[in-house]
């Protein structure tokens, strides 16, 4: 039963902005079919998130775009940051509660500017999602100085600078930092020396900061995806001469579940960890890789 652009469910009206559709016996959230218990859990998450603000980096594609969608559907106002102006601004047109920031985040100055832009726009910060990341296949011998420096600048330095600058604001809101790491931050990967170093550093940075700031009510966790169906996966496959469908099938065969993690799967974990339902989870590195690191 539709009411005010939403759907009535067990006495609760889910707003249309949440993209929930009661359609032929199926309940959908963010375009995916969910069960009744899941919808109820998502309702609770949304009710605890209204009025909060998130800053998401790497928001112009892949996991970042899905995280923006998930948090917007959960009631957040969001500053979406990315390097690609056209794609980043397109994300901003999808949701009225999203503002955009375009620029590079590899210097301390740019990261300070980004955090301040969020505070000036919304007046507060509740969740920082350090998602921006790069990957280029190379073993140690073929890792150039430029590749090493650039990988650590994006994947490790930027999350550190942003977390440091966000901390005073997160202290006020008892906020959350979520670092999008990798299962290759937990185990090694071939031809990924710089990438593994950066993501492994991110995982231990997460744990150290979580211990430092737990007493202040700030929670800090790392999410460690395996292969995710994103442009990065297809680019990696293309570098090895694979068509997109071939790259996807190969990744699925390598997973114990026989499936590739979707960007929406990762976004759902972000939404959960940002919520009060995860109030006792901090300093964790949570794998979402179909069992690859089991």
43-57, 63-77, 219-233 — which is least confidently predicted? 43-57
Same domain, 77 and 90: yes
Same domain, 117 and 258: yes
Same domain, 239 and 170: yes
Same domain, 269 and 214: yes
- Mean pLDDT computed over 35-43: 57
- Mean pLDDT computed over 156-160: 98
CATH number where 197 lies: 3.40.50.720
| Domain with 239 in it | 50-288
Same domain, 153 and 169: yes
Is residue 128's pLDDT more than 60?
yes
Q: What pLDDT, on the 0 to 100 scale, is given for residue 4?
A: 33
Q: What pLDDT, on the 0 to 100 scale, is given for residue 37?
A: 58
Q: What total of structural domains would you count in the chain?
A: 2
Same domain, 117 and 233: yes
pLDDT in tens, 241-274: 878 788 778 777 888 988 888 999 999 999 999 9
pTM: 0.82
The yes-or-no answer on residue 76 being catalytic is no
- Mean pLDDT computed over 159-172: 98
Is residue 173 domain-resident?
yes
Same domain, 7 and 84: no
Is residue 293 domain-resident?
no
- Looking at every residue in the chain, the average pLDDT score rounds to 86
Q: Report yes or no: 105 and 57 within 8 Å, Cβ to Cβ.
A: yes
Is residue 43 domain-resident?
yes
Is residue 294 domain-resident?
no
Same domain, 255 and 207: yes
Same domain, 108 and 244: yes
Q: Choose, from 95, 135, 161, 195, the residue flagged as catalytic.
A: 195
* Single residue among 12, 27, 48 that ends a domain in this structure: 48
Same domain, 20 and 160: no
Is residue 193 domain-resident?
yes
9-18, 26-35, 115-124 — which is least confidently predicted? 9-18
């Amino acid at each position: 039963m539709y009411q005010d652009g939403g759907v009535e469910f067990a006495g609760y009206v889910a707003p249309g902005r949440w993209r929930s559709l009661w359609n032929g016996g199926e309940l959908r959230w963010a375009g995916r079919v969910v069960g009744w218990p899941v919808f109820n859990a998502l309702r609770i998450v949304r009710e605890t998130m209204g009025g909060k603000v998130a800053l998401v980096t790497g928001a112009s594609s892949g996991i970042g775009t899905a995280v923006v969608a998930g948090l917007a559907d959960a009631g957040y106002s969001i500053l979406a940051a990315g390097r690609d102006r056209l794609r980043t601004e397109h994300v901003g047109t999808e949701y009225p509660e999203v503002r955009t920031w375009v620029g590079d985040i590899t210097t301390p100055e740019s990261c300070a500017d980004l955090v301040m832009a969020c505070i000036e726009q919304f007046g507060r910060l509740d969740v920082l999602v350090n998602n921006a990341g790069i990957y280029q296949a190379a073993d140690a011998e073929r890792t150039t100085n430029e590749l090493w420096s650039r990988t650590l600048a994006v994947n490790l330095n930027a999350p550190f600078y942003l977390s440091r600058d966000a901390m005073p604001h997160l202290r006020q809101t008892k906020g959350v930092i979520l670092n999008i790491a990798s299962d290759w931050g937990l185990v090694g990967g071939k031809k990924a020396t710089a990438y593994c170093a950066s993501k492994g550093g991110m995982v231990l940075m997460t744990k150290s900061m979580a211990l430092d700031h737990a007493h202040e009510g700030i929670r800090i966790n790392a999410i460690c995806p395996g292969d995710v169906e994103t442009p990065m996966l297809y680019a990696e496959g293309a570098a090895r001469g694979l068509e997109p469908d071939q790259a996807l099938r190969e990744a699925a065969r390598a997973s114990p579940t026989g499936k590739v993690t979707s960007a929406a799967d990762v976004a759902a974990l972000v939404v959960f960890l940002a919520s009060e339902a995860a109030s006792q989870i901090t300093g964790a590195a949570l794998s979402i890789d179909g069992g690859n690191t089991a």
